[in-house]
Each structure stands twice: as structure tokens, then as C-alpha cells.
Amino acid sequence: MEKMWQGLGVVPGIAIGRVKLVSADLTAALEQYTAGSRDEENAKLTAALATADAELGRLAAQARQAGQPGQAEIMEAHQAMASDPELLADTGAKISQGIPAPQAVLAATKEFAAIFSGLDDPYFQERAADLRDIGRRIARILTGGETLDFGSGPVVLCAEEIEPSLAAAMPAGQVVGLVLGQGSRTSHTIIIAKAQGIPAVAGLGAAAAALPEGAEIVIDGYNGQVLLNPPAGKLAEMQAKIAAEQELRQQDGMLADLPAVTQDGRTVQLAANIGGPADMAAALKQGCEGVGLFRSEFLFMGREHPPDEEEQFNAYRRVIEQCGDKPCIIRTMDIGGDKPLPYLHIGKEDNPFLGLRAIRVSLAEPALFLTQLKAILRAGVYGRAAVMLPMVISEGEIRRARQYLGQAGAELEQQGKAYAPAVELGIMIETPAAAVMASELAGECDFFSIGTNDLVQYTLAVDRGNTAVSGLYSHFHPAVLRLIDGVIKAAHARNVWVGMCGEMAGDPLAAPLLTAMGIDELSMSAPLIPRVKAVIRQLKLSDATAVLTRALSQNDPQAVQSLLTDFLAGSRRPD
């Protein structure tokens, strides 16, 4: 019997396959496990940790070979978490109390995960899933449990929660979709699915794990619909859409070496968001024109001490050199209470997203900030480097940062080190305060980059990681569109160029609006570049301007999306 559920589309695309239930239940394996002495259990744990490290290392290496550096970094982060001293000490303490090694590691990771889940922060909540994944992996190794058999033919994995390491091991071409009871666009499992181009729907709750094994299922990652046992007519319709998607991807891939220019000559630079040098090969293959967001915080995370000037310099230089004559915009460390680092000693905060983070940390830790600025200035000798400050809300923050930039140059001069003396300084517009003060802030910097992920959250007071309210999160909300339009106008009035580096930048549906608003650059995950480029190359600026006028007069995001969908489909042109 046909049945339909409405979830949250988290990775766009359509998939047809058979239901493959994924269970993380280790009950049977734990019941059959025979425990030894405490020394023997500790020895088993040590061996299991080594095996887990090797497995995760192999998954990371495979991801890098497949051109998926983001997925590789997730697996490497799992390696680091599995060897965390506090986690291992807690596990060892439980074994010393007579608890068998598998139960000890599960209990320890569950306790740590509970701490993360209880924090009012999507980043921490999603890392709880990583901890549970690590615990189950080690317990599976200890009990001799088997890995998931994916069966044959195209399958859609269905579960309350799918572990990131399982997602990383999905056989290419066989797993065609994911249905999750929980999860958000920023969970590691979803990040991996997006990198592999696997459509996903989340937010189905307990229904995701109760779907009948082997039943035919269709998922629509665009609108979040899940259809079980579809009728023949519906199945044919969705198969036709999949074929059209595949043809479109092939056509888009042929545009890699062409610019994103409208039919009447308006050019938009398309750049890539990256987390490190390893991401550049895949980004260049997709036709990126430089880097619009280098997330430098990844260099600072997962370690006991901050990276020194030389390490940072080498990382920045490698990316800048690969950018050639295109810009490489390096965001200074966007870290704080939401991404705790052992060497920062930031106290517990009730709401870390509104606490000591980003530019506030940099200005509070001048030695750390100066080291990063000196590394960027030195790397700037090898191309077009730019410094971008996150979470700015005032002119004073920019002025202080510019003073530190000058100090960094002066220190390099004294040390006799080569550096770029004229590196551009820009800021992210990611709070309503910055958007409203755009004209004043533009007078203090060289460029803007609109960070829509936080701007939408703060403007709409919606936590996009909370499935209970994430449906309210939309960058097509009229309030958000009007803020963005105002920011671009204010910046251009002061001769400051404007880019965008949030999720909206990679949304093809938003491309006509942003192009008409006059955006100068869009920076996105590299796989999204070809589709956005194709949309821009099909546009006439006059048509895009007309649809922008109509979009800005709408009262709700759904109306805006419908308008844009019709516009791009060509079924209706603006008057």
C-alpha cells in the first residue's frame, strides 16, 4: 500500500531503491561476549583501538583518493576522538570496576555524548552522534560483530540515526539515498552524503526505523517527501526526473572552464569554500575562481596546542599558490565556546553562539591573532591573499583588527621576513547588526562576505539544527532578502565589493535574485559550482531584476520559492 511521509530535505536530489534498515543494536553480540580478567580486557581494548584507528585511517585515505577531502577530515576527526585521553581514562576506570571492555567503552562514550547532547548548541549536539559512532565501532570490534551487508541493487538506508563512519563506507552507486529519523544539514552524516551526491531526507522520527525491509521507496531531497510503494505512474515520473538530473549534471560539468556570465554580460565570480589545502584539487576541477572562504579554524581544532606561524604559513601558501591570480580569502579563526579548544580556556557559556567567539576571541588573544596574521601576510607573497574577520558587529572591531594587521607587518619587517604589505581586509556580514550598519562598516574595510547561515538564524531566531523548528529556517524569508539587498546596495555605494559564502550562495534557486541584487562573488561547496554557473549563464539581467522586484514584495518564503521555481522552469516569466 502506498504511504507518504513529510520530512526535511537535507541533501537535494531524487532516489529510488529498496529499504535497507540500519540497526546499531549490539545486544546479541554483547550477550555472547566472554569477558576475561581486567588485564585481558584492557589488552583487548588496546587491540580494538588499534584496529579502529586503522579502519578510520583507511576510510580517510579512500575519501582523499576519491576527491572527498571533507569526508576524509571527518574520519580523521573520529581517529582523534577515539584516542581522546579523557575518554580512554574513563573507559579504563570502568574496566577496573569489573565492567567488560565492550560495555565499558559504550558506557563511556554514552556519558560523553550525553554531555554534548545536553548543550544548547547544534555543533555539540551533532558531535554526540560522532561519539556514539566511535563507541559502537570499538564495541563491534571487541565483540567480533559483522559490518552491514548492503545486499544487492540500489538501496535507501533507513534508520533513526546513521553513523558517519557507516556513511563514509557506503559503496558507490549502490546506496542511492538516506532516510533519517533525526539529523540536520550540518551533521557529519549529511555532510558525507552531500559530498557523495546522495539525496537525503531527515526528520521522520521513529518512522524511519520502522519502514518495511525491502519495500520500494522514493525519496525527494528537494521537498523532503518519502513515498513507500509508489504507484506505477508516480514511479515513472520520478525515474524521468532522475534521468533529467543526470543529463543536467553532465551538461553542467562541461562549463568548468567557462565564466559565470549572464547572457547580457553581467559576471559573477564563483569561488570555493574550503577547510584546508587538500580541498583545492576537487575545487579546481569544478571550475572555482579562487577561494571565497578558507575556514582556518580547522587548523586550530583537534589539538592540544595552537598551530605556530610556520605551520599556518605553509597551509595558507599551498592554497594561495593553487589559486594563481585569483583571490584566496582566509577567514581568521572562527572559534570559541561553540568549538572549545584546550589552549583557549574559555569558560562554560550558557549560549556560546552569543558568547566569546570569532573576532571576539582574536581580539582577546592578541598573541594568537598576531601569529595568524603574520602567517597570512607571509603567504600573501605567493598570490592574492585576503583577511576576513568573522562575526563583526562594530567599526571599532575592524579598526582594532587593522591595527593588529599593521603590527604583524611591522614585526615581519623587523624580522627580515618577506610579506605582502597590501593584503585586503574584509568582514563577514552574519548578524542583523552588521547588516543594518553595512554603510558604516563599509567605510572601514575592503570587502564584505555575507554569511547567510548565521544571518538567517539570528534574523529569524530559528535554530537550523533543531528539527522541531528547522522548517522555519529559510534564506528566502522576505526579511532576509531585504537585509541582503540593503547590504549590497550600501557596500556598492561605498565602492566595496560584496561576496556571499553561506548555503544560500550555492542554491541555484537563489542565483537569479543574488545576480540581480548585484552580488560580485558567490563562494560555495565545490560540487555546487557547476549548477549555479549554469543558472547564471542562462539568465538575462533584465528578467532577473524583474523577478527580484516581485520576490521582494512577497510576504512569505514559500511564495518566493514558488516564484523562483516557475521562473527557472520557464513556465512563467515576470511581467
Give the domain-ending residue among 378, 408, 428: 428
Domain boundary among 234, 267, 282: 234
Q: Which of 20, 3, 66 is nearest to 176 (CA)?
A: 20
Q: What is the pLDDT of residues 45-97, one digit of tens each?
A: 999 999 998 888 888 887 777 667 667 777 888 888 888 888 899 999 999 99
- Mean pLDDT score, 109-113: 87
CA distance 383 to 290: 11
In Å, the largest CA–CA distance within the chain is 79
**pTM here?**
0.74
Residue 251 is assigned to a structural domain of this protein: no
Looking at the domain assignment, is residue 283 inside a domain?
no
- 147 DSSP 8-state letter: P
Which of 209, 234, 259 represents a domain boundary (last residue)? 234
In terms of average pLDDT, the best of 38-47, 179-188, 199-208, 435-444 is 435-444
pLDDT at 572: 36
- Give yes or no: residues 116 and 210 share one domain: no
Among candidate residues 188, 288, 328, 445, the one labeled active-site is: 188
445 is a catalytic site residue? no
236-291 pLDDT, tens digit each:
999 998 888 888 778 877 777 899 999 999 999 999 998 888 788 888 988 999 99
| Phi, psi (degrees; rounded to nearest 5) at 497 | -80, 155
Better-scored residue on pLDDT, 123 or 503: 503
Output the pLDDT for position 118: 63
Rg of the chain, C-alpha, whole Å: 24
Q: Are residues 82 and 36 in the same domain?
A: yes
Note whether residue 10 is domain-resident. Answer: yes
Percent of the chain with pLDDT over 90: 54
Closest alpha carbon to 68 in 138, 154, 169: 169
- pLDDT at residue 337 above 80? no
Same domain, 531 and 442: yes
pLDDT, residue 481, reads 97
Residues 464 and 543 in one domain: yes
Q: What is the pLDDT of residue 73?
A: 75
Task: Order across the sheet with 8-11: list the strands.
Answer: 3-6, 225-228, 216-220, 14-21, 155-159, 175-180, 200-202, 8-11
Q: Establish whether 477 is a catalytic residue.
A: no
CATH number at residue 91: 1.10.274.10
How far is 173 from 159, CA to CA, in rounded Å?
19
Highest mean pLDDT pick, 73-87, 341-355, 430-444: 430-444
Task: Report if residue 267 sits inside a domain.
Answer: no
Residue at 245 is within a domain: no
Among residues 77, 86, 79, the alpha carbon closest in space to that of 109 is found at: 86
- Does the pLDDT of residue 140 top 60, yes or no? yes
CA 499 to chain centre: 18
Per the structure, the complete domain to which residue 512 belongs is given by: 430-574
Greater pLDDT, 24 or 537: 537
pLDDT-derived band at 533 (thresholds 50, 70, 90) equals very high
Asked whether residue 465 falls in the same domain as residue 405, the answer is: no
The answer to which of 70-79, 122-131, 517-526 has the lowest mean pLDDT is 122-131
Question: 438 with 566, same domain?
Answer: yes
389, 421: one domain: yes
Based on the fold, state whether residues 415 and 536 are members of the same structural domain.
no
Confidence check: pLDDT of 414 > 90: yes
Q: 158, 323, 445, 501: which is the annotated catalytic residue?
A: 501
Q: Is residue 262 part of a domain?
A: no
Report for 69-73, 204-208, 397-401, 466-470: range of highest mean pLDDT: 397-401
- Does residue 223 surpass a pLDDT of 50? yes
Which of 331, 336, 333, 332 has its CA nearest to residue 351?
A: 336
Asked, for residue 260, whether it belongs to a domain, the answer is no
Band of pLDDT at residue 573, cut at 50, 70 and 90: very low
Percent of the chain predicted with pLDDT > 70 = 92
Which positions make up the binding site?
295, 331, 430, 453-454, 464
For position 436, which CATH number holds?
A: 3.20.20.60
| Domain co-membership, 414 together with 445 | no
Number of domain units in the chain: 4
- Contact by Cβ (8 Å): 371, 404: no
Checking if the pLDDT of 212 tops 80, the result is: yes
Q: Is residue 561 part of a domain?
A: yes
Q: Which residues are annotated as a binding site for Mg(2+)?
A: 430, 454
Residues 513 and 563 in one domain: yes
Decide if pLDDT at 114 tops 90.
no
Task: State pLDDT tens for residues 361-388.
Answer: 899 999 999 999 999 999 999 999 999 9
What per-residue confidence (pLDDT) applies to 484? 98
Query: Rounded to an integer, what distance in angstroms lies between the CA atom of residue 112 and that of residue 115?
Result: 5
Query: Exposed e or buried b for every residue in 274-290, given b needs 16+ CB within 10 A?
Result: bbbbbbbebbbebbbbb
Extract the annotated binding site for phosphoenolpyruvate: 295, 331, 453-454, 464
Same domain for 46 and 118, yes or no, is yes
* Same domain assignment for residues 46 and 98: yes
